[in-house]
Structure 1
């Protein structure tokens, strides 16, 4: 069992977060009333997805004896803001998340696909987004 805990202090739409020895700022863009002092909550979610997939990929690669030098992620989320503005007919979270991953490896493309499938099954952030019913469009290719 692994426990994770943060503390946070908010003022306006800016939040300062402490996670163990680390601190970070979450803020909204100016058009959402923020000062753009840090990534937005949704930016952090997409970053968490990429970071989690990298961590799980490294773990799975060791298990598969897969030579993995690293992965370059391009992650985009599509959101209909009517949901977060209160429209009950629109989900207030991403409707679609697109992941393009370029894998730095000497392995064959078929092994890259096996790695992706295992990572997508085991990554807590990916599976959480999937469980929310968000459309996921994930494509991993060899560099």
Structure 2
């Protein structure tokens, strides 16, 4: 039975402090995870930590894996090892040069490989439902950029 929207809202909060383009961020919640962000020197940083753009792409891989795990449970299939390659193509003319236009990525391409015992039909449902239910995928897709999402099914190794 599906949960109706707005019945189970969970707030996600982040606090950050920094100078220049360097930040120390603390995720809310019980873990209180601390992480840092910086930028390439061309963007005014020291490249001492991942840039926010890498975090955005990393969030896309992680959220897909979490969402697919939930979808797989609903489908009654098992998942094993994951591999993601994501590329975001960014024209920096707006960000760096102040040109008119959209500062968003022009294109983001997701290439995922996952070990699973899903049938071909179940695997297609896994992909489509993950894409539909993943909040970070939806952020990217609804932003209007070109979004390419290619998944490959690998055999789940037999357990001994």
TM-score, length-scaled by structure 1: 0.93
CA distance in 2, matches of 1:9, 1:41: 14
Aligned residues, how many?
Answer: 142
What is residue 51 of structure 1 aligned with on the other side?
62
Aligned counterpart, 2:142: 131
CA distance in 2, matches of 1:18, 1:113: 37
Choose which of 13, 17, 34 in structure 1 pairs with 2:21.
Answer: 13
- 2:93 maps to what in 1? 82
Q: CA deviation at 1:29?
A: 1.7
TM-score, with normalisation over the residues of structure 2? 0.84
Q: Is 2:42 aligned against 1:23?
A: no
- Which consecutive residues of structure 2, in runs of 5 or more, have no partner in the other structure? 1-8, 155-160
What RMSD in Å do the two structures reach over aligned CA positions?
1.2
Deviation per CA, 1:58-116: give whole Å up to 9, x if none: 0000000111114211111001111213211x310111000000011133333222201
Gapped regions of structure 1 (runs ≥ 5): none
SS of match in other structure, 1:71: strand
| Secondary structure of 1:37 counterpart | coil
Q: Which has the larger radius of gyration?
A: 2
CA distance in 2, matches of 1:56, 1:42: 21
Match of 1:3?
Answer: 11
